[in-house]
């Protein structure tokens, strides 16, 4: 008589995560099922095909794939072979939340800050004022979203993105201040082009 004995399990595992591409990261978790008291001669585990990746849902991760394979582990202490079944679960993070709340606002403010470089150099005061306010907006976004980023050693994708946005915004403000310094006569040289020409060259760079 063939019998199927099914028992529900609440499995908790620790996964070694790689956050370098956060929030576009993909994680792999392994669940090892086996016995350290019954050797292969007493118990043989046979993995069964299933399609759980189509039925498991999460609000933060998408279950990309679940694979299962069998492994034999030899222990020298008992000189026996033990059987294990290893499940590999591949998870893909949903980036929608981070795109809407972090990335798009930061990108929009950064582009507006860069756009101030195309304002009329004759109105350098409003130009510097606008660029400085937008730069403060970039810093505020970084400060507000700091709690939502994982505190890890090293840079993640989100850190690199925000660092580039901050550098571009800062360069826009410095460019306007440099043009204002030249127009006020802070730098005078025969070979130096006119401020409008310098402004066009810096925008091209």
Give per-residue pLDDT as tens, 104-160: 999 999 999 989 888 887 888 888 899 999 999 999 999 988 888 888 888 899 999
Looking from the CA of 136 toward its CB, the CA atoms found within 13 Å total 5
Q: How far apart are CA 81 and CA 40, in angstroms?
A: 6
Angle at 64 between CA 61 and CA 70, to 5 degrees: 120
Percent of the chain with pLDDT over 90: 30
pLDDT at 2 over 90: no
pLDDT greater at residue 127 or residue 189: 127
Predicted local confidence at residue 189, as pLDDT: 56
- Provide CATH 1.20.58.390 ranges for the chain: 96-204
Going by pLDDT thresholds of 50, 70 and 90, the confidence category of residue 79 is confident
pLDDT at position 181 is 78
C-alpha–C-alpha distance, residues 74 and 77, integer Å: 9
Look over the chain and give the mean of its residue pLDDT values, rounded to a whole number. 84
Helix (H) or strand (E) holding 26: strand 26-34
pLDDT score of 204: 67
Overall CATH class of domain 96-204: mainly alpha
Runs of H (alpha helix) within 56-204: 96-98, 104-115, 124-144, 157-183, 195-204
How many helices, marked H, and strands, marked E, lie in the chain? Answer: 5, 3
The whole-number pLDDT of residue 163 equals 93
What is the sign, positive or negative, of the torsion defined by CA atoms of 156, 151, 32, 67?
Answer: negative
Token pair of 78, please?
């008992």
Under the banding of pLDDT at 50, 70 and 90, the label for residue 188 is: low
Is it true that the peptide bond before 23 is cis, omega within 30 degrees of 0? yes
């Amino acid at each position: 008589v063939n019998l199927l004995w099914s028992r529900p399990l609440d499995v908790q595992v620790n996964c070694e995560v790689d956050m370098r591409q956060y929030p576009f990261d993909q994680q792999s978790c392994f669940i090892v099922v086996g016995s350290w008291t019954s050797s292969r001669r007493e118990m043989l585990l046979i993995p069964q095909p299933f399609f759980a990746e189509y039925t498991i849902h999460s609000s933060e991760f998408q279950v990309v794939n679940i694979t299962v394979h069998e492994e034999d582990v030899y222990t020298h202490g008992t000189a026996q072979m033990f059987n294990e079944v290893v499940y590999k679960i591949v998870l893909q993070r949903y980036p929608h939340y981070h795109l809407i709340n972090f990335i798009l606002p930061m990108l929009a403010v950064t582009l507006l800050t860069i756009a101030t470089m195309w304002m009329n150099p004759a109105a350098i005061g409003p130009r510097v004022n606008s660029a400085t306010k937008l730069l403060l907006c970039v810093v505020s976004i970084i400060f507000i979203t700091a709690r939502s980023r994982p505190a890890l050693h090293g840079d993640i994708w989100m850190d690199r993105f925000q660092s580039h946005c901050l550098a571009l915004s800062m360069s826009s403000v410095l460019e306007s201040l440099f043009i204002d310094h030249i127009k006020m006569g802070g730098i005078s040289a025969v070979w130096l082009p006119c401020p409008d020409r310098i402004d066009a060259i810096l925008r091209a760079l």
